[in-house]
Amino acid sequence: MGTRCAIGYVNNSNQIVAKYSHYDGYPEYTGQMLTDHYMQKHRVEGMVLFGDQSVLMKEYLPTTDDHSFDTPDKDVTVFYGRDRGEHGCLPRTFNTVQEYTEYFRSMGCEYFYLWAYDRNQGKHDWTCWDINGTRWECANPRKVAA
């Protein structure tokens, strides 16, 4: 069984657009992958808009015409819709963090990631929390002191 997570961003309408990720959702993998490879708005939105996925990888766009669920390109995310032909895998939109968390918690997610503007830093950044509400750092993952 995978460590499931949800990955989302806050759009221009102040809504959360998010999707499901099945494997390696813990901060030491997904949190680090997000901060290492998904710090630009176009990459964050592009990755989320492809919908539900198996596991987050360094890239979200294929490098060959042969990329699929069965023969994925190296370091390219496999999306259930694009790469497996499944339906009902598009990202979902939420009005509040609570709605986002509750929906994906019901799908078995243990971690929740959100790309949003951080007023303290004056830039967009990733926030992570677990099913217990504990905050985690995404870069060099560790629990954030309460």
Q: Is residue 80 part of a domain?
A: yes
- pTM of the entire predicted model: 0.94
Q: Is residue 144 part of a domain?
A: no
> What does the pLDDT look like over 58-77, one tens digit per residue?
999 999 999 999 999 999 99
d(CA 78, CA 90): 13
Q: Is residue 126 part of a domain?
A: yes
Per the prediction, the chain carries an average pLDDT of 94
> What does the pLDDT look like over 2-51, one tens digit per residue?
899 999 999 999 999 999 999 999 999 999 999 999 999 999 999 999 99
Q: Is residue 120 part of a domain?
A: yes
pLDDT higher at 144 or 133: 133
pLDDT tier at 139, thresholds 50, 70, 90? confident
Domain hosting 68: range is 5-136
Q: Residue 43 has which token pair? A: 């990459």
Q: Is residue 141 part of a domain?
A: no
pLDDT tier at 143, thresholds 50, 70, 90? low
Q: Is residue 26 part of a domain?
A: yes
Q: Is residue 146 part of a domain?
A: no
How many domains does the chain divide into?
A: 1
Q: Is residue 11 part of a domain?
A: yes
